Structure 1
Amino acid sequence: MPIATVNPANGETLETYEAMDAEELERRLQLAEATFRTYRTTTCPERARLLNRAADLLDEDRPEIARTMTVEMGKPVGQARAEAAKCARAMRWYAEHAQELLADEEPAADDVKDSGGSRAVVRYRPLGPVLAVMPWNFPLWQVVRFAAPALMAGNVGLLKHASNVPRTALYLEELFHRAGFPEGCFQTLLVGSGAVDEILRDERVKAATLTGSEPAGRAVAATAGEMIKKTVLELGGSDPYVVMPSADVDRAAEVAVTARVQNNGQSCIAAKRFIVHTDVYDAFTERFVAGMAALKVGDPLEEETEVGPLASEQGRADLEELVDDARRSGAEVLCGGERPEGPGWYYPPTVLAGVTREMRIHREEAFGPVATMYRAADLDAAVLIANDSPFGLSSNVWTRDEAEVDRFVRDLEAGGVFVNGMTASHPGFPFGGVKRSGYGRELSGHGIREFCNITTVWHGA
């Protein structure tokens, strides 16, 4: 894929970029290593001052960078502004909390004595340059949720962003530079995906984090395993959205629409499989389909637009294949399901019923505004359907029965269980999945410690 800004609303190529050559890449790796030697010695308050400044600048730039994101990958501009605001809040959260999250820990006195020592402490130290391979769907947020904790921990960042969002990628490097971070603390590498393996093999790169597809995760994990380097992977998701009879069905259906079509349906944590108890299935489905069909699809730069185009022509083709396969295998299309006429990579909000295990869409992630409906006879059946997926990122459960909540929390195979609400990420909560959705955690204290050398310091008696 060329490194280029292509407007998905009309397919127009706005700008193409040359990939960095080997000489420039080497210069940047040298700079990252040299910068780390000194940046690692700065204090948390010093780093916090810089990160707060970056947050202030991002707030000032919000209208401009929101438009950039929308033009590059098609999200409605109001959602793009919200993403920028969320990034600024996350920066301030880490600036405020990093020092306590990374504070020295003292083992129990009895354990120190039993070890024959006089005192001991556990210290969190930075690793070095961390490679971040990031996707296009949340082109600011995905990067900031890595960069904010990594920089506060004393690491330096190397960003290999998706090739269709180069303007956003370059903006991020400029943002941290304008905020006063030393040159080399955060660098954007304009390279294709084929360069990732070589960069990860470089001894100066100490770890990697990737958000993206399962094949990309497998490739990075394989190389990192060979090189014995720490990785965090956040891959695909096909999150269940379970509705039980005690739920507020009207509210559940209303939230379900947003949960499915947020970011034009291109979100790993978007609810994709709607598993509804048979007692409320018809009522929920009627309201949900009506809500999906009523959404305004159009130019993402217009404020009233609720669903914009998919980010790429190939992405739309992949989504169409899943829907067509399900239709041929007997699924019922309750709304949508047909590509609209005209320019741009648009696809309508679509709901499929009668989905079976033999259909590809049951096993694969539908990355666009397509929902699948399942009827569950009881709680056990709902859990069985929910777990019948290779993914396990997050989950949504609607019930007012605390015993049911306990069962879902115990039995759902996912990195998160959101009760009576839709999945969302917040800097205070760990974020990540299980099964083929990846491993490791971003955000919270868990996220900032992922790329730290957890060091035991022991003193003899």
Structure 2
Amino acid sequence: MGIATVNPATGETLRTFDELSDEEVEERLAKAAAAFGVHRRTGFGERAALLERAAEVLEAEQDAAARMITMEMGKPLGAARAEAAKCVKAMRWYARHAEDELADEEPRPADVEDSGASRAFVRYRPLGPVLAVMPWNFPLWQVVRFAAPALMAGNVGLLKHASNVPQTALYLEDVFRRAGYPDGCFQTLLIGARRIEGVLRDPRIAAATLTGSEPAGRSVASIAGDEIMKTVLELGGSDPFLVLPSADLDGAVSTAVTARVQNTGQSCIAAKRFIVHSDVYDDFAARFTQEMAALTVGDPLAEGTDVGPLASEQGRADLEELVEDAVSLGARTLCGGRRPVRLEAGWYYEPTVLADITPTMRIHREEAFGPVATLYRVSGLDEAIKVANDTAFGLSSNAWTRDEAEQERLVADLEAGGVYFNGMTASHPGMPFGGTKRSGYGRELAGHGLREFCNATTVWYGAR
């Protein structure tokens, strides 16, 4: 299909786009390098004013932007509006806090004296053009959470977006242009995946960030490693959702449903594996299944739709294979497990709950990217932690318990980039986001994300 907008609710191709030629890619690389030479020397006040204007542009167009991404990747319209609003919030957070987060750091006076300096500090300086390889599932947010801190740090951005969201990619370039950013500060590259390596190996690219699949991350990291280039990777997750006996079960059930089907289940930080203590398992399983089965599946443009289509036909086929494999090996389907009968067009799949999961099943090891939840019964905290950590991924985790000793134990022992108690994992501009194990490395958001693509420069003055 190449680079095209295909409506997931109908399978209809809405628009197609030509890839950039080699000459056009070269032109954009040259613009990025030239823009960096200017943008890196601007002050934080000027950068903040530009980003505030970008926030204003997006805020004024939230409804139109939401409809566009719903048409491109099937996100329910209400969720699409929320995504646009979240981007506005993040832009304003960075515009208002980047200067403080990147302020010069003063070492301890004793260390300055011991080094023989009359004065010393650390200054964060931008690296240069950063290539962002971004996915389709949050087509605005994934880009903004890279672009806002990168631009505020003085870097410039080149976006290679997923090929099924070209209109969103071009729209983001236009938002930054209309906000007043100089030509070349933020550009979209409409190219296929096979051409990423050539861009990465260009000496004008200073760093790269990727959110996507493990194979994609491995490829980019390998190329970047060969080029001795800084990278940040976020490669998905299979987040556990632990429910222990002291939990508020009403809150746990309600949050579990939202955590599993946000963005039709196509979220790296969606809770996917529900690990429940035997004391509350039966009650939780019954109520969770009932609420999952009651969700409204349908047209993502219709108000009131909870679950829209999967973003691609291949994505639904991959999800079906995982479910079929689990059922063939003994998993029980408590609800769902099939395509909705009444929705023949589009790439829909019913909200599904599977029980009796074992390590022999693929869904135990692989990320289920869609509205499918797996249930595990455990006898105690030790077993809950063991099951939670029995995955190659380590993005985030959720735990429902009011027991402070259990909370401390989980913070110490859960192998994940985040531990969220009595709530749902969510990214926030003021808190670092990222994973461990095969979920990737590095951090986005907060000051940590600002500093990832900076040169932490030691400045030392000898005796005067």
Amino acid at match of 1:241: F
Q: 1:423 aligns with which of 422, 425, 442?
A: 425
Q: CA RMSD in A?
A: 0.5
Note the C-alpha offset of 1:287: 0.7
2:246 corresponds to which residue? 246
- 1:123-177 CA-partner distances (Å, limit 9, x unpaired): 0000000000000000000000000000000000000000000000000000000
Offset, 1:113: 1.3
Cα deviation code 1:300-345 (max 9, x no counterpart): 0001100000000000000000000000000000000012240000
* In the alignment, structure 1 residue 118 sits paired with structure 2 residue 118: yes
Aligned partner of residue 296 in structure 1, secondary structure = coil
Q: State the one-letter code of the partner of 2:152.
A: M
2:284 counterpart of 1:284: yes
In structure 2, the residue matched to 1:68 is 68
2:325 aligned residue:
325
After superposition, the C-alpha distances for 1:377-412 in whole angstroms (9 at most, x for unaligned) are 000000000000000000000001000000101000
Match of 1:371 among 373, 383, 388: 373
| Aligned-partner residue type, residue 195 of structure 1 | R
The aligned amino acid for 2:118 is S
**TM-score, normalised relative to structure 1:** 1.00
Aligned residue number for residue 293 of structure 1: 293
Unaligned residue ranges in structure 2 (runs of 5+): none
Encode CA deviations 1:240-264: one digit per residue, 9 max, x unaligned. Answer: 0000000011110111000000000
Shift of 1:199: 0.4
TM-score by length of 2: 0.99
Which residue is equivalent to 2:356? 354
1:364 shift after superposition: 0.1
CA distance, structure 2, for counterparts of residue 117 and residue 247 of structure 1: 55
Tell me by how many angstroms 1:25 deviates. Answer: 0.2
Whole-angstrom distance in 2 between the partners of 1:196 and 1:443: 24
Q: Equivalents in 2 of 1:437, 1:346: separation in Å?
A: 27
Match of 2:387 among 385, 388, 411: 385
Query: What's the CA shift string for 1:338-394, capped at 9, x where partnerless?
Result: 122400000000000000000000000000000000001000000000000000000
Question: Structure 1 residue 222 and structure 2 residue 222: aligned?
Answer: yes
SS in 1 for 2:455: strand
What does 1:49-448 align with in structure 2 at a 5 Å threshold?
Answer: 49-341=49-341, 342-448=344-450
1: CA distance, partners of 2:146 / 2:27: 23
- The DSSP-based 3-state class of the residue aligned with 1:345 is coil
Which of 433, 438, 451 is the matching residue for 2:453?
451
What amino acid is aligned across from residue 45 of structure 1 in structure 2? Answer: G
* Structure 1 runs not aligned, ≥5 long: none
SS in 1 for 2:118: strand
Deviations 1:60-107 (A, max 9, x none): 010100000000000000000000000000000000000000000111
1:437 to partner: Cα distance? 0.1
1:117 alignment partner, SS class: coil
The aligned amino acid for 2:393 is F
Q: Distance in 2 between matches of 1:305 and 1:10?
A: 16
Output the amino acid matched with 1:35.
A
Shift of 1:443: 0.1
For residue 110 of structure 1, report the CA deviation from its aligned partner. 1.2
Secondary structure of residue in 2 paired with 1:103:
coil
- Residue type at the aligned position of 1:393: L
Identical aligned residues as a percent: 72
Per-residue deviation, 1:23: 0.2
Moved over 6 A (4+): none
CA distance in structure 2 between the partners assigned to 1:173 and 1:402 by the alignment? 47
Query: What is the aligned residue count?
Result: 461
Q: Report the residue type matching 1:276 in the other structure.
A: V
Aligned mates of 2:103, 2:197 — CA distance in 1: 34
Amino acid at match of 1:200: L
Distance 1:308 1:132 in 2: 27
Q: Secondary structure at the match of 2:61?
A: helix
| Local SS of the residue matching 2:204 | coil
Partners of 1:148 and 1:193 in 2: how far apart?
A: 24
- Paired amino acid for 1:406: E
2:235 & 2:107 partners in 1: Cα distance? 35
Give the Cα–Cα distance (whole angstroms) in 2 for the partners of residues 55 and 120 of structure 1.
36
- What is the letter of the counterpart of residue 98 of structure 2? A
More displaced 10-residue stretch of structure 1: 340-349 or 86-95 = 340-349
Following superposition, the deviation at residue 117 of structure 1 comes to: 1.3
Residue pairs, 1:23-34, within 5 angstroms: 23-34=23-34
- Distance in 2 between the 1:195 and 1:125 partners? 29
